[in-house]
Homo-oligomer: A and B are copies of this chain.
Amino acid sequence: MESKTLRPRRVLIIGAGFGGIACAKALSKNDKFTVTLVERTNHHLFQPLLYQVATSSLAAPDIACSVRQVFRDSNNVTVLMDEILELGTETKTAVGASGDSYPWDYLVLATGAKTSFFGHPEWEEHTLGLKSLADAQGIRRQVLSSLEKAERTTDPVERKRLMTVAIVGGGPTGVELSGAFVDLVHRSMKGEFRRIDSSDLRVILIEAADRLLTPYDEDQSAYAKERLETLGVEVWTERMVRDVGPAYLEFTDGAKLEASTIIWAAGIEANPLAGKLGVEPADRSGRITPERDLSVPGHPDVFIIGDLVRMNDMDDKPVPGVAPAAVQMGDHVAKVLKEELRLEKTRYEEKKHELRPGFRYFDKGLMAIIGKNAAVVKSGKLRLRGFLAWIAWLFVHILFLIGFRNKLVVLLGWGFAYIRNNPGVRVIVNPPADAPPQGNSR
C-alpha cells in the first residue's frame, strides 16, 4: 500500500483560455498531480486575433487549436468537454451540464469574462458581442449579409440602415474592429457591387469617455482617433448609450442612430460561475479579489485566475485583464501547488495564503492595432505609434502564436491580404436567419 501523501493531488481546472492552459501545462508530466481540464468548447482560442475572424481576414480554425492536441503527450492531464454549472466548495466537487461530477483537491477557476451590458441584459438580443468563434462568425455574417441586402433593396431608408455599422466601445476591440472593417469594405470590396458603393458603408465607433483607448497616453488616443478617421471611421466620443433596440441606438443626448449592425464591445463582466464561489464580488462586473497567492478568501484550495480577477499585485499595481496576466497567474498557481506539495505545509490551513508566495505581475505593456500599417504600443517608458508599432504588434502576435499549428497559415494569409489588399475569408458559412437554407443545404 502506498501512503496517503503519495496519492497524486487532483487539480480541476475550469476553462482552457490563456490562464487555464498555462496552469495545466505547468503541472503536466508531474506525477504528483492528476489534472482534469474542463472546457465547454473543444478548442483554445487566441482571442487577440478574434477581430480578424470577424472581419474576414482569418478563418476560424486559424486562431484556435484543439485543447486535446495541446496535452496529447501529458499523460497526467485529462481534457474533457463539458460546461460546468455548479461548484460545491464544501464538497469539493463541480457538476457539469452533462450531469457528470468533477471532484477536486484543488480547483482553478479560469472561465474568463463575458460581454457586459451594464445592467441591461435585454440589449443583448439587438447587439453582437465578440468573445467566441461563433460570435466572430456572427459579426462577419451580419455585416456581409447587410451589404448583400443593401445591394438588393430599393428603399433608400432601409439601404442607409443596412449600410451602417455601429461599434459601441472605444477600447482595443472597438478600435481594431472598426479599422479592419473600413479596410475590408471601403477598399477590398470596392467595385464589387453594382447598385451600391461599398465605400458608402458608415462605420461608427462610439465611446462614452472623451477619448479612445483610455489605458494609453492621451496623445496615443488622439493618434488612434486621427488615424481611424483618415481610414474612414466616424469616431464619436462622449456619447453615452441610453437605449438599444432592433437596429437602433439611442444616446443620452436624445440622438438616435439607425444601424443594422450593432457590435457591443463596451465592457465585460466575470463569467457567472465566479458567483458560485460564495464570495462577495469586488465590483459590479462580478470580478473577485483573491488573496495575494490567488486563492479565494476562505478557500485556500480554490484559485481564481485571468479575467475573473480584480486585484493589485504584490507591488500594489492593478493587474489588467490581458492574456499575459492570465498566463502569469496560471503559472503562479502551478508554482504554489508544487511548492506546497514539496513542503507539505498542510498544518497552517487557515493562514495558508500568507505562507505562500504572492502574485507579482510582470507588465510587458499594451498594444493595439489601428487598421493597416499602424498601431500604438505602451510598454514601461516606451511609446510607439505608426508603422514601427505595427511591426512590433505583428512580431509579438506571431511569437505568441507559436504552438499554434496555424502560425504559418496565418502569416501566409496576412501576407496575401497585405500584398493584394484583399482579405479572402469572406464566406458566410451558415445563412442568416432570414434566408432559410434551400433544399440542397442538407
A interface with B by C-beta (< 8 Å): 40-43, 59-62, 64-66, 68-69, 71-73, 75, 78-83, 97-98, 100, 111-115, 124, 129, 131-135, 137, 144-145, 148-149, 151-152, 189, 191-195, 271-273, 405-406, 408-409, 412-413, 416, 422, 424-431, 435-442
Contact = CB atoms under 8 A, between A and B. Distances in A.
Contacts of A435: 40, 81-83, 97-98
B61 A192 contact: no
Given A191-B73, A193-B68, A405-B422, A438 B61 contact: no
Contacts of A112: 440
Contact of A135 (B43, B69, B408, B441): B441
Contacts of A60: 59-60, 427, 429
Given A152-B100, A429-B134, A442 B129 contact: yes
- Tally of this chain's copies: 2
A271 to B, nearest CB: 5
Contacts of A273: 438-439
A59 B62 CA distance: 8
A248 to B, nearest CB: 20
A436 B83 contact: yes
A121 to B, nearest CB: 10
A189 B66 CA distance: 10
Nearest to A189: B68
A134 B427 contact: no
Nearest to A96: B152
Contacts of A134: 429-431, 437, 441
Give the residue among A60, A413, A424, A427 with the most B Cβ atoms within 10 A: A427
A425 B64 CA distance: 8
A440 B131 contact: yes
Contacts of A100: 152
A49 to B, nearest CB: 14
Given A41-B431, A69-B192, 13 more contacts: A42-B145, A59-B61, A61-B426, A65-B424, A72-B191, A72-B192, A98-B152, A111-B440, A133-B427, A137-B429, A271-B438, A406-B424, A409-B412
Contacts of A151: 80-81
A152 B61 contact: no
Given A129-B442, A438-B271, A442-B135, A425 B81 contact: no
B428 A42 contact: yes
Contact of A426 (B66, B82, B145, B149): B66
Contacts of A111: 438, 440
Contacts of A194: 75, 78
Give the residue among A61, A113, A424 with the most B Cβ atoms within 10 A: A61
A164 B75 CA distance: 25
A69 B435 CA distance: 21
Contacts of A412: 408-409, 412
A98 B441 CA distance: 18
